Chains A and B, each alone.
Chain A
């Protein structure tokens, strides 16, 4: 059931010339640092792609690898080693940043599987209207009206208490909705991590639409929170 994720092409270590796996950051033979690896973020941590991760272990591994790879350890090394240390550490940091966050991790894994999804954090597609979940269309429309009204009344200097409490309710409602999505996502993690090929494909589709939904709701929650705090 385990998928081979490492690039199987062996490369020779620049220092001791012993062949090793291309996704390895250190030569298993002489321990010297190797040029930036060819593998994915999971392979940086010697993991197979999976969604339910032990974050304590991940942090421990991150610290352990940082100690070995960080440019601070190569301040007086050869210029090649310095360069590799910089590239390898950037890869390690990028990998850790992505994998420790549940949403980014899910997005990343889905992209590895070839899914087309927006990015929650990149600021792109932030206001992409093409993917409004159908069941939310009406509610979202109403909410945006209320938000507009609230902004206007705040500008005039008098916050309508009725509007205020309406928005607070909406904030609560959509936050709860977000929690629901997160719960559903976690359930899909289990399906993906433990399922066979067919189950995985099915689960990937579900996660893509859950992430779309999540992105949309979290934008709404953010807008409400910002408007209330303004």
Chain B
């Protein structure tokens, strides 16, 4: 149905984000204007503080990444690490990041990040990334996109999930479902095989680690167990290398780079480059120019690197073993292992996984056929297709996921009474009865926690509920029934009723971390985004921007040595394509502008090739400028805000 539009699948990642959809019976990633499939999860506040709408002007993705070294105080990345977290957690998290908290944040409030002269909550930052993905999809389809499936780490708790959903709403997206990332990956892998059996998905991304065990049968993907660590990923490896370099530079050159956020970011980039090279080479040179012109150079052999990261990687073993135990199976019973996340490109990670699941002895290898950076988004697109219904490809598929953490209520003495145990299939519910302890008592306070520990203080506080307006009765007489329901997104809903009086008890929910409905409402990004009339106008503006961008690129290329190698007819073809585009750009015909843009892009085919040959790599041939950019982006093996690979 046209009115309902398409449902897209979004991987909102720590390092990169992607949007995908089902093209017929195949999920595909939707590229951005720059041709790249990956949108770096980086948001920058432009120097201009505000535009006419009173909203700050922000840029997202590659262009935001560019400003990271020059103006680190106006850029934020890895915001996923801050989603749904309290003040203290965020403070410990910010140690390695250039951004800082707003000064006036109080305990109990959602932390705000100071970005230039403005401050943002983590969901707002994520909303900017989501809006960019939404726009990329709208540009691609030529029609509005209002519904999405967004993936989250399986081990995300209630607050982190709610924060992600809030971000979707702020970006003008109805989030039809939150899907766990490893489960999404399993969907992407399971689509074209009629497999049955047990599969394990090992997902080590930029900032989070998940392990999920699934049972596949009759098109039903039933998660048996899940475990993980929302604080473990490639970032930790980068930080290890970064710390060593910072300390050595301090000791050997007497320079404390920690005082220079921009330099730390440049050094981080060198660390990431070295890490990426170590996945394919036996040794890598950490090479960095210091502000005084000296060079810090350090050869890192792979064995040294592997020793260094061993402790980090070993932290994934415990969750794997727990997941197997919770599923009630041995490693040998796992039929297939799927690797997800950029960090699984590290050979030591693959070795660890092979050992954990006893793969070599069984003549098996982990699955890496699908690009580990894209597989989650592809799976999200599959789930989006399931939800949209009316598709032959996915009509027999169904995903049954679980809640990663036990839900409990604080009981007398601060202990936890578990009411829904971890790895329960969701939706799941539990009904509990409460009463009063004092005559005439009209309020009962309930503290809900999430976690496996025995004491409430050691678990994650989810919310405090006040059951109010209980009819005054003798102590112990009221019987208040409270229903806890974890929905298909893994988010808790609560309802209550006083049974003796039959009154619906009022509940006042105070989430321990999180935004109120009103706060979310006030943070919704440009509300006109979805209006039909404005939409056409916006597409036109975007098409013109795109045209301007390629025209500028061509103008810049005229001074490039590669220009001189073009034949006369090639130059005149480019010139005429430029003239044509400049002419139609002034008009209102969207398709004409787009066609002329594509034509100009095509005419620069050989120019791009020559420039590539000269400047970057002989491996890229036969591409137009747009495609060359896309291919370059794909070649970034473990992308990061600072990773290279931009085509200018």
Q: Identify which of B383, B416, B427 contacts A90 (C-beta below 8 A).
A: B427
Contact status of A94 and B421, CB under 8 A, knowing A66-B400, A75-B389: no
Contact yes or no, B487 A75, CB < 8 A: no
| A86 and B485 contacting across the interface, CB-CB below 8 Å | yes
| Binary per-residue interface labels of chain B (487-514) against chain A in the complex, 1 for a CB within 8 Å, 0 otherwise | 1100000000000000000000000000
Q: Tell whether A96 is near chain B: CB-to-CB under 8 Å.
A: yes
Stretch at the interface among A4-12, A42-50, A117-125: A117-125
Whether B177 pairs with A123 at a CB distance below 8 angstroms is no
Q: A123 and B408 in contact (CB under 8 A), knowing A72-B386, A90-B429?
A: yes
Q: How far is the CB of A139 from chain B (nearest CB, A)?
A: 26
Question: How far does the Cβ of B199 sit from chain A's closest Cβ, in whole Å?
Answer: 17
Give the contacting residue for A71; candidates B7, B408, B488; CB below 8 A: B488
| Chain B residue at minimal CB-CB distance from A60 | B218
Would you give the shortest CB distance from B34 to chain A, in whole angstroms?
32
B69 in the interface, Cβ–Cβ < 8 Å? no
Inter-chain CA distance A104–B488, complex, in Å, is: 23
Q: Is A123 a contact of B417 with CB atoms below 8 Å?
A: yes
Closest to B417 in A: A124
Closest A residue, CB atoms, query B427: A90
A93–B425 touching, CB < 8 Å: yes
Query: Is A121 a contact of B421 with CB atoms below 8 Å?
Result: yes
Instruction: For residue B400, give the distance in angstroms from its CB to the closest CB of chain A.
Output: 6
Q: Verify if B334 is at the interface (C-beta below 8 Å from A).
A: no
Q: How far is the CA of A28 from the CA of B504 in the complex (A)?
A: 32
Which residues does chain B contribute within 8 Å of A73, judged by CB atoms?
A: 389
Q: Cβ of A71 and Cβ of B220 under 8 Å apart?
A: no
Interface positions of B from 415 to 432, Cβ below 8 Å from A: 416-419, 421, 424-430
Contact in complex: A97, B177 (CB < 8 Å): no
B387 surroundings in chain A (CB, below 8 A): 72, 75-76
Confirm or deny: A188 has a beta carbon within 8 angstroms of a beta carbon on chain B.
no
A87 to B7, CA, bound (A): 24
* CB pair A70 B487 closer than 8 Å: no
Across the interface, name the chain A residue whose C-beta is closest to B384: A75
A86 and B408 within 8 A (CB): no
A63 within 8 A of B: yes
Interface residues on B, range: 20 to 34
B399 interface residue (CB < 8 Å to A): yes
Complex interface: chain B residues within 8 A of A70 (CB): 398, 400, 488
Q: Which residues of B have CB within 8 Å of A124?
A: 417
- Cβ-defined contact, A72 with B4, below 8 A: no
Interface residues of B in 448-495 (CB under 8 A from A): 454, 485-488
From A72, A90, A91, A96, B398 is in contact (CB under 8 Å) with A72
Contacts of B260 on A, CB cut-off 8 Å? none
Report yes or no: A86 in contact with B488, Cβ–Cβ below 8 A: yes
A72 CA / B425 CA spacing, docked (Å): 14
Closest to B416 in A: A123
Mask, B566-608, CB within 8 Å of A = 1, is 0000000000000000000000000000000000000000000
Q: How many residues of A contact B (CB 8 A)?
A: 22
Judge if A106 is at the interface, Cβ distance under 8 Å.
Answer: no
Q: Which residues of B contact A201 (CB under 8 A)?
A: none
> Given A63-B217, A123-B417, A75 and B388 touching (CB < 8 A)?
yes
Please name all residues of chain B whose beta carbon is closer than 8 Å to the beta carbon of A171 when the two chains form the complex: none
Cβ of A24 within 8 Å of any chain B Cβ, yes or no, is: no
> Which partner residue on chain A sits nearest B452 by CB separation?
A123
Q: Does A67 contact B (CB under 8 A)?
A: yes
Contact of A89 with B by CB under 8 A: yes
Q: Is the CB of B424 within 8 A of A93?
A: yes
Instruction: Report whether B487 and A63 are in contact in the complex, using a CB–CB cutoff of 8 Å.
Output: no
Which of B222, B383, B418, B429 interacts with A94 by CB under 8 Å? B429
The docked-state distance in angstroms from the alpha carbon of A156 to that of B218 is: 54
Contact B488 A122 (CB under 8 A): no
- The interface centre, meaning the residue of B218, B386, B429 with most chain A CB atoms within 10 A of its CB, is B429
Asked if B200 is at the interface of the complex by the 8 Å CB criterion, the answer is no
Question: In the complex, what distance in Å separates the CA atom of A63 from the CA atom of B218?
Answer: 9
**A122 CA to B415 CA in the complex, in Å?**
12
Chain B residue nearest to A91 in the complex (CB): B429
Which of A91, A94, A96 has the most CB atoms of chain B within a 10 A radius of its CB?
A: A94
- Shortest CB-to-CB span from A143 to chain B, Å, is 21
B176 on the A face (CB < 8 A): yes
Cα distance, A75 to B399, chains bound together (Å): 13
In the complex, are the beta carbons of B418 and A122 less than 8 A apart? yes
Q: Which residues of B lie under 8 Å from residue A91 when comparing CB positions? A: 429
- Distance between Cα atoms of A93 and B398 in the complex (Å): 14
- Indicate if the CB atoms of A97 and B425 lie closer than 8 Å: yes
Do residues A76 and B488 form an inter-chain contact, with CB atoms below 8 A?
A: no
Of the candidates A76, A86, A122, the one whose C-beta lies within 8 Å of that of B427 is A86
**Is A97 touching B418 in the complex (CB atoms < 8 A)?**
no
Q: Contact partner of A93 among B386, B417, B419, B428, CB < 8 A?
A: B428
A90 to B430 Cα, complex, angstroms? 9
The distance in angstroms between the C-alpha atoms of A217 and B172, with both chains bound, is 55
Contact of B4 among A66, A76, A94 (CB under 8 A): A76
Pair B389/A86 contact, Cβ less than 8 Å: no
Measured between beta carbons, the chain B residues less than 8 angstroms from A121 are 418, 421
Q: How far apart are A183's CB and chain B's nearest CB, in angstroms?
A: 20
A122's partner among B7, B217, B419, B426 (CB-CB below 8 A) is B419
How far does the Cβ of A44 sit from chain B's closest Cβ, in whole Å? 13
Q: Say yes or no: B398 contacts A67, CB within 8 Å.
A: yes
Question: Once the chains are docked, how many angstroms separate the CA of A122 from the CA of B399?
Answer: 26
Residue in A71, A76, A90, A97 whose Cβ sees the most chain B Cβ within 10 Å: A90
Within 8 A of B (CB), among A22-72: 63, 66-67, 70-72
**Residues of A with C-beta under 8 A to B217:** 63
Complex: how many Å from CA A73 to CA B428?
17
Question: Can you list the 3 inter-chain pairs with the closest CB atoms, starting with the nearest?
Answer: A75-B387, A90-B427, A90-B429
8 A/B residue pairs, CB under 8 Å, sorted by A = A66-B398, A73-B389, A75-B177, A76-B4, A87-B429, A90-B429, A97-B425, A123-B454
Question: Can you add 20 more A-B contacts, CB < 8 Å, to A72-B383, A90-B429, A93-B427?
Answer: A63-B217, A63-B220, A66-B398, A66-B400, A67-B220, A70-B398, A70-B400, A72-B387, A72-B488, A75-B176, A75-B388, A76-B387, A86-B485, A93-B428, A122-B418, A123-B408, A123-B416, A123-B417, A123-B454, A124-B417
A residues contacting B by CB (< 8 A) are 63, 66-67, 70-73, 75-76, 86-87, 89-91, 93-94, 96-97, 121-124
